[in-house]
Amino acid sequence: MKTRTAILPALLLAAGPASAACTFEIEVGDSLQYDTRTMSVDADCASVTVNLRHTGNLPAAAMGHNWVLTTPEDVQGVATAGIGQGLENDYLPASDERVLAATSIVGGGESTMVTFSLDDLPGQDRPYTFFCSFPGHYTVMQGTLTVD
Ligand code: ZN
């Protein structure tokens, strides 16, 4: 009994920092989904790196994916503005302050990555949304990133 009460708080403390990270490996394929829906970034990270790997077979022109970070309110606006920019611009508006971080678009067998600083993220007390800006994907391909 005495041992149990001593161990439990220690486990709870260990669970917090262990679940947050600075580097993330995310996989996508020939369907409209990321292999993760939630990302927990450690607030102490000097920088955050997202590695995106497309394990499918379809080319970027048909089933391209990227990883774009915005506030939840800006998802639709950025995705809509990006459609007209074309694949060569990764379906993202150029120099748009709403885009907090973004990778390029990749197709099957390709990988991409982005590194950013937490200093570039405003309002870290609430969650951000990551999504794919390939036309038609953002409504389904979304997840939540929190700074913990
Ligand atoms: Zn996509």
Distance from residue 93's CA to the centre of ligand 1 (Å): 16
What does the pLDDT read at residue 15?
43
**Average pLDDT score over residue span 113-129:** 95
* Residues 6 or more apart in contact with residue 33 via CB below 8 angstroms: 140, 141
More confident residue, 92 or 13: 92
The 10s digit of each residue's pLDDT in 9-35 is 544 444 444 479 999 999 999 999 999
Distance from residue 111's CA to the centre of ligand 1 (Å): 13
Distance from residue 48's CA to the centre of ligand 1 (Å): 21
Distance from residue 98's CA to the centre of ligand 1 (Å): 19
The 10s digit of each residue's pLDDT in 49-68 is 999 999 999 999 999 999 99
Distance from residue 7's CA to the centre of ligand 1 (Å): 44
Q: What is the pTM of this model?
A: 0.87
Average pLDDT, the chain: 91
What does the pLDDT read at residue 17?
42
- Output the CA–CA distances (angstroms, integers) from residue 27 to 4, 6, 16, 85, 142, in the order listed: 39, 39, 24, 24, 13
